[in-house]
Structure 1
Amino acid sequence: MLSFALQWQQYGGGSNEEIYVNFGLSPMQYFMRLLRILRSPTDLDMSVISELNAICASRLDTERARHHDEAGHPGDER
């Protein structure tokens, strides 16, 4: 999972499709697991860890917003 993250780092973490094909996980599951990995001891440079953390946070925010929008809002006439 970490090698995938490093491979896709410069592209914002990889597409949702690549994540699913490689891991069988939703993007939310993948980025949450990656955050846990990044919190464990690693040989990665702190700047790389920081960038990967930022990618995870951004992608998780995007996924949460997408799920919120898909769920609709109370009172919406859809």
Structure 2
Amino acid sequence: MMNDSVIDDARVVEFARRWLPYGGGTTGDLLVEFGMTPACYVARLGRILSGPAGHRLDPQLRADLRHFVAVRSARR
């Protein structure tokens, strides 16, 4: 699995933005794109949204992605 320093935050956010209308990427999509499990991806996205990169996002996009993270985190 790749660590946070190898995968650019912007790539993670763009993937999330692109797949949000469809409920997020599939397990296969996440493995191919990032080499991550869904749980690792959701945790990483949550960290990004809580940090400086997240605060630079459009407020509605950030709120939508935070909701996605909360729902996915609750499923575990």
Computing the radius of gyration over CA atoms, which structure comes out larger, 1 or 2? 1
Q: TM-score range by the shorter chain?
A: 0.7 to 0.9
| Distance of 1:5 and 1:16 partners within structure 2 | 13
Q: Deviations over 1:14-33 (max 9, x none)?
A: 11211111111110010000
Q: TM-score, normalised by structure 1?
A: 0.72
Q: How many residues are matched?
A: 63
Q: Which runs of 4+ in 1 moved over 3 A?
A: none
Gaps of 5+ in 1: 65-78
Gaps of 5+ in 2: 1-11
Mapping 1:58-69, distance limit 5 Å: 58-62=71-75, 64=76
Aligned equivalent of 1:45: 58
Report the aligned-residue RMSD.
1.2
Aligned-residue sequence identity (percent) comes to: 38
